[in-house]
Amino acid sequence: MPLTIEVCLTPKLINQHVLQGKIAIVVDIFRASSCIITALSENSAAIYPVRTVDECLKLGSQGMLTAGERGGIKIEGFDLGNSPFDYLGKVSGKEIAISTTNGTIALDKSKSADQVIIGSFLNITATLEYLIDQNLPVVIHCAGWRGVPNIEDTLYAGALGHQLNDHGYLAINDTAKMAIDLYHQNMNSLLQTALKSDHAKRLRKFGINKDLDFCLQVNKYQNLNGKLKGSKIVKI
């Protein structure tokens, strides 16, 4: 039997997937998962995803950097926002507590998987190689936006699904097949397609086009993955 690929477009639907015995790839392209991979490439010691601002502040008082956004905007008093540029040159050796609108929820709801890996365009080939090495079925869990599917996460799911397909994995739910179709149609215009998303439009109002460009860079980082170990994400 070939290994299987499932795609889930929002945490609201993840309870319809069995995660045990599988690897979950959690995706929040704009911008949590892109920030996490950037922080790891900058040698952050670990990233603690938490759901609330209070939890973040509590970890901050214990010496961690605090990071996060609500509605796309940096939380007042936090050290870092949700722009990958915030993490460049600032996080080496540091632990970070991060709370985001969508990504943290998806991570939390993925914990019954055998492994939880962070998905981003920035290191998609490294993730592909890791998955092939692990030889387990895959569930790509898109964070979406406040419970609804979004284009950019679906596009990533299609991109990873497409590459797994090429390595003999089989897309077994309709959502996976549709995500792969979406990627096929737009593989030569990833950024333009992602910029059509509601979320990108919201973010552009804050003047952060450069963040969107950054997050759509394919394989900026090599040989780097982020993996949830207990309550923290570490580089593997």
Judged by the rule CB under 8 A, the positions of this chain that interact with its own copies are 9-10, 12-13, 16, 145-151, 154, 172-175, 177-178, 181-182, 184-186, 196-199
50 vs 159, beta carbon nearer its own copies: 159
Q: Rounded CA gap, 62 and 167, in Å? A: 44
Residue 216: C-alpha distances to residues 82, 164, 219 (Å): 15, 19, 9
What does DSSP assign to residue 221? Answer: S
88 vs 187, beta carbon nearer its own copies: 187
The distance of closest approach from Cβ of residue 46 to its own copies in the complex, given in angstroms and rounded to an integer, is: 32
146 vs 167, beta carbon nearer its own copies: 146
17 vs 94, beta carbon nearer its own copies: 17
83 vs 186, beta carbon nearer its own copies: 186
The distance of closest approach from Cβ of residue 100 to its own copies in the complex, given in angstroms and rounded to an integer, is: 18
From 195, 5, 1, select the one nearest 119 (Cα to Cα): 5
The distance of closest approach from Cβ of residue 22 to its own copies in the complex, given in angstroms and rounded to an integer, is: 16
Q: Provide the angle, in degrees to the nearest 10, between the axes of the packed helices 124-134 and 151-166.
A: 50
The distance of closest approach from Cβ of residue 214 to its own copies in the complex, given in angstroms and rounded to an integer, is: 20
The distance of closest approach from Cβ of residue 232 to its own copies in the complex, given in angstroms and rounded to an integer, is: 31
Which stretches of the chain are DSSP H helices?
32-41, 53-61, 103-108, 124-134, 151-166, 174-186, 190-194, 198-205, 209-215
